[in-house]
Amino acid sequence: MDSSEPLPSGEPDDRPAVPAQRSDQDAYLRVRDLRVRFDTEDGVVRAVDGVSFAVERGRTLGIVGESGSGKSVTSLAILGLHDPKRTTITGEISVGGRQVVGLADEEVRRLRGRDMAMIFQDPLSALHPYYTVGRQIAEAYRVHHPKANRREARQRAVDMLDRVGIPQPARRFDQYPHEFSGGMRQRAMIAMSLVNDPALLIADEPTTALDVTVQAQILDLLADLQAEFHSAIILITHDLGVVGQVADDVLVMYGGRAVERGSVEQVLRSPQHPYTWGLLSSVPSLHGDADADLVPIPGNPPSLINLPPGCAFHPRCRYADRVGSRSRTEVPELRAAGADGHLVACHLSAEERAERYAEDVASVGVAR
């Protein structure tokens, strides 16, 4: 991608110069101490427990985590898609200066689609099988442009289909989702999310269901559209490779909390949290020793109903014993770690982390 404008997006060279969180005030999306709880029969699920971050226009935040880390719940909270009867949301979510938490349904609906939009993992379940693809996109446009007539909406939808790289958009307009291939469907959904020029785009595992050659096309398309529309993007994924390729900043979540945050350089090149280390050394790579064993993280991701006390990662952490009982009694705060804007929530001291990383992690897996 070569953006001639001084856009931060996609210019890897200018990344280190930009601190990850320089001033939240300019950010289009600001999330402060977000907490999302569900009351269920089995108990209270603390799906998100005090997460803060900000995304400026033109930048991409990658949220990384495994199942149950709270990454998708966070994005649904931003979009106001949780059922208010079952969900308690506290904290602050500001989208373009407007507070979303506590806003009436009707108001959130007005923001949704126009100011913020979502791309889901599975386009087949996000598109209605009974209506043509074009009609659904035109409908999304008319919801926020009540003055637009049928023909204008159709024209807009055809333009969007064209923009996301669907050949013969006018013919494709009248086809049904099942007539589209997987990659085409994902493009159609991107067209639908972008039809109202939202400033904030949340993509939840947008390429997980796709083949790698198609994934590459979709990631390129997102980067390209971001350069054009200058949107803020949140990319939720479990794939660190995808994050490394498209994100400017990274938030690593575990058990509903942020455990590490920083620029993509900081988090992937000098990771600070043992969980991030574990993720990096457990991923098989195309480089390095193919015969060496991968270094898995022992155990399983925790249940959010019954989160381990203290640091939620401590039962899986090799270093938990080094800080005595603190790992079991005290939730570590997100604190500055080394370079500007790099934050980590870990009881280990900075010296200890540096030492452990150098000795145990840097020489194994892909973290090398």
Partner 1 sequence: MTDEPLLRVRGLTKHFPVRQGLRATGLVRAVDGLDFDVRPGETLGLVGESGCGKTTTGRMLVRLLEPTSGSIEFAGRDITHAGRRELRPLRQELQIIFQDPYASLNPRHTVGRIVAMPLQVNGIKPPGGVKARVQELLELVGLNPEHYNRYPHEFSGGQRQRIGIARALALRPKLIVADEPVSALDVSIQAQVVNLLRNLQRELGLAFVFIAHDLAVIRHFSQRVAVMYLGRIVEIGDRADIYERPQHPYTRALLSAIPDVTQLGPAGRIRLTGDVPTPLDPPSGCRFRTRCWKAQDVCATEEPALVPRDGGRQATACHFPEGEAASTSPEREEPSTGPEGEAASTSPEVAGPITQLVEEVPS
Q: Which residues bind partner 1 (CB under 8 A)?
A: 1-2, 10, 12, 15, 66-67, 165-167, 181-184, 187, 211-217, 219-221, 223-224, 238-246, 264-265, 268-269, 278-280, 282-287, 290, 293-298, 300-301, 366
> 3-class DSSP state for residue 145?
coil
The alpha helices in the chain, defined as continuous H runs, are 71-78, 105-111, 123-126, 133-144, 150-163, 169-173, 182-194, 212-229, 240-246, 264-269, 274-282, 326-329, 350-356
The DSSP element (H or E) to which 200 belongs, if any, is strand 200-204
* Least distance (Å) between residue 261 CB and partner 1: 17
* Residue 344 near residue 260 (C-beta atoms within 8 A): yes
Looking at the DSSP bridge assignments, the partners of residue 253 are 258
Residue 366's closest CA among 239, 261, 262? 239
Indicate the DSSP class of residue 324.
T
Polymer length in residues for the chain: 368
Q: Which amino acid is at 317?
A: C
Nearer CB in complex with partner 1: 115/205 = 205
Choice between 106 and 293, CB closer to partner 1: 293
Residue 322 is classified by DSSP as: G
* In the complex, minimum distance from the CB of residue 217 to partner 1, in angstroms, rounded to a whole number: 6
State the nearest-atom distance from the C-beta of 77 to partner 1, in Å.
Answer: 22
CB of 185 to partner 1, least distance (A): 10
The nearest distance, CB 43 to partner 1, in angstroms, is 18
